[in-house]
Amino acid sequence: MMLMFNLYGIPQEKDQNLIETTCRNTPNYQLCISTLSANPGSINTDVTGLGLIMVDAVKTKAKETSNAIKKLKGSQPELRNALSDCAGRYNAILEADVPEAVEALIKGDPKFAEDGMADSSLEAVVCEESFKQVTSPLTVLNNAVRDLSDVARAIIRILL
């Protein structure tokens, strides 16, 4: 069992157990652990709270990707079509999927949060696929959004 020290000193074993148990139920244990541990709010919260932290991580990474898309549009015009498609998809993630997931988790109807994260993963994958015949400049970011969404979805599943 990995002992992790949070910013505030002594690890709480109950909290650590919850994080570990939760992450073991996700498809990417390492990513789950590292993302949750990086957020001090992951101590002393419940599964819903952990889910919200992961959804927030999706949001942050999606914003980063969205900004990257905007920059690329200017500098690589030959990728314009794919980038347009991706822009729409990341708009869906940021304007629909993430808010839906947050509201659903807060209000206690987690299946809509799961739907939101399922779609978020989908949008990232399809964006990546839209670069089929050229090298995608967004692979690392798309994969990150996909992986974080998949982990978030798995955490939310626990609540159902």
Partner 1 sequence: MHNMAFPNPFRTTSNSGDQSNENPSPYVPLLNSGRDPSRAPSKRRRPSRVVILLLAGMLAVALLVAVALNYKGNGESAANRLEKIVPAVARGVTEGVSAKSFVPLLGALKYYWTNKMLAWQRSAYHFQPKKNWMNGPVFYKGWYHFFYQYNPYGAVWGNIVWGHAVSMDLIHWRHLPIAMVPDQWYDINGVWTGSATILPDGQLVMLYTGSTNELVQVQNLAYPADPSDPLLTNWIKYSGNPVLVPPPGIHYKDFRDPTTAWLTPEGKWRFTIGSKVNKTGISLVYDTEDFKSYQLLDGVLHGVPRTGMWECVDFYPVSKVQENGLDTSDNGPGVKHVLKTSLDDDRNDYYALGTYDSSTAKWTPDNPIIDVGIGLRYDYGIFYASKTFYDQDKKRRVLWGWIKETDSENTDIQKGWSSLQAIPRTIRLDKETGSNLVLWPVEEVDKLRLKKKVFDKVEAKAGSVVPLDVGSATQLDIVVEFDLDKKALESINGTNTTYSCNANGGAAERGALGPFGLLVLTDNDQVEQTPIYFYISKDIQGNFSTFFCADHSRSSKAPDVDKAIYGSTVPVLKGEKLSMRVLVDHSIVESFGQGGRTCITSRIYPTTAVGDDARLFLFNNATDAGITASLQIWQMSSAYVQ
Residues of the shown chain interacting with partner 1 in the complex, contacts defined by CB under 8 A: 18, 44-48, 81-82, 85, 88-89, 91-93, 95-97, 99-100, 103-104, 106-112, 114-116, 118-119, 121-123, 125-126, 129-130, 132, 146, 150, 159-160
89-112: burial string, b at 16+ Cβ within 10 Å, e else: bbebbbeebbebbbebbeeeebee
Closest to 65 measured CA to CA, from 142, 128, 147: 142
Burial of residue 142 (CB within 10 Å: 0-12, 13-18, 19+) is buried
* CA-based R_g, the chain, Å: 17
Choice between 11 and 99, CB closer to partner 1 = 99
